[in-house]
Structure formats: C-alpha cells, structure tokens
C-alpha cells in the first residue's frame, strides 16, 4: 500500500496567495497582504518541491499559489513605491513652504493718479495700527519686507475736496494682489484685505 499524497503545503500556498492578492489591492488593508503573499509564496514553493519528489500530486494548485503570491507581492511593492513617492513629494512641498516663510515676502504699496491731493492710510501687518500721509505728487510708494506670508494689510487712498483720480495697487513678491481706482471729491480707493 502506497503513502497517501500530502497536498497541504501547495493548497495552503494557493489559499494564502489568493487572499494576499485580493487584499493587496486595498490601500490600507494591503498591510495584511504582505505576510499572506510571502508565506503563500514559501508554501507554494515547498508544495511544488513535494510534487517533484512525488510526495504530492497537486502541481497545478502549487504553481497557482506561487503565481498568485508573486503577483500579490508585486502589487504590494508597487503600493510602497507609489506611497513613498507621494510622501517624498509632500515633504518637498512642505520644505518649499518653510523656505518661503523663512525668506519672507516683499510687500509694495503704490498709489498713482492725477488728484491734486490725497490721503494715504496704510498698515503692512494688519494689526490695526495705521499710518497716514497726505500726498500732493504721485507716484507714492512704500515697500516692506515681511517674514512669512504677506496678508491682512491695509491700503486706502482718499482724494481731497478738489477731486481727481487715484489708483492703489498692492504687490507681493512682484505679483499684483489688489488694485482699485476712485475718482471725484473725497473718493476712496481701497486695496485692503489682499
């Protein structure tokens, strides 16, 4: 009487390879796939060795377990590469933001126009404190270097009783952020809230 065939290793390799392959496509649950496909690959290989030695007769099941486990392992490696690249991109973006914050921003207020007189009220930090200047000739310009991102400042220009036209403009690092024009007596051009 011959020994009964022992097909358990090849069958276990197939089952673990199949489960690992299914789980490997699910991003968070895919962590479970790693041990399943590695163990499935090992059991499938041992099952194939048993078939070659004549100790088992489930060659197809053992080979299927090896193939499924190898595909599942490839999917797991692809997820690691993809997530590693995304993590690297996010880290680089944060480094760029930090470098920008450390470098600071150049904030420029400019007023142009033909009004005989205007009152310029401005604040660079948005902290509620404003400076005021009466201007009789244009252009009028103020430049500030601020640490971090420039926002929340105010720039309001009011024409005098003789009217005329005034235009205010706010630029941050050379990019125009806000522009406004006003005409007539006591007209207000507001470039606040950029």
Check whether 47 has a pLDDT greater than 60: yes
pLDDT in tens, 141-184: 998 887 665 566 889 999 999 999 999 999 988 899 899 999 99
**Which of 104, 94, 89, 191 is closest to 147 using CA atoms?**
104
For 3-29, the DSSP string reads: PPP--HHHHHHHHHHHHHHHHHTSTTG
Give 136's strand partners.
none
Whether 35 shows a pLDDT value over 60: the answer reads: yes
* Mean pLDDT, residues 105-123 taken together: 92
* Candidates 3.50.50.60, 1.10.3720.10, 3.10.20.30, 2.60.40.2880; CATH matching 104-190: 2.60.40.2880
Q: Identify the pLDDT of residue 7.
A: 84
Listed by start position, the domains of the chain span 8-101, 104-190
Q: Judge whether residue 125 has pLDDT over 70.
A: no
Q: Which residue has the higher pLDDT, 172 or 67?
A: 67
Written as six digits, the tokens of 144 are 């500030």
CA–CA dist 77, 90 (Å, integer): 20
């Amino acid at each position: 009487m011959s020994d009964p065939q022992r097909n358990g290793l090849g069958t276990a390799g197939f089952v673990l390879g199949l489960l690992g392959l299914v789980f490997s496509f699910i991003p968070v649950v895919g962590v479970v796939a790693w041990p399943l496909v590695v163990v499935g690959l090992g059991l499938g290989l041992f099952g194939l060795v048993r078939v070659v030695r004549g100790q088992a007769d489930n060659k197809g099941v053992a080979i299927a377990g090896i193939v499924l486990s190898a595909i599942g392992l490839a999917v797991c490696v692809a997820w690691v590469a993809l997530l590693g690249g995304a993590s690297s991109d996010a880290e680089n973006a944060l480094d760029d933001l930090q470098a920008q914050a450390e470098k600071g921003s150049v904030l420029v207020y400019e007023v142009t126009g033909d009004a005989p007189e205007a009152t310029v009220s401005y604040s660079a930090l948005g902290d509620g404190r404003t400076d005021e200047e009466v201007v009789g000739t244009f252009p009028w310009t103020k430049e500030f270097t601020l640490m971090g991102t420039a926002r929340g400042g105010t720039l309001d220009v009011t024409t005098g009783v003789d009217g005329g036209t005034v235009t205010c403009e706010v630029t941050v690092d050379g990019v125009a952020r806000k522009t406004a024009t006003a005409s007539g007596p006591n007209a207000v051009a507001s470039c606040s809230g950029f």
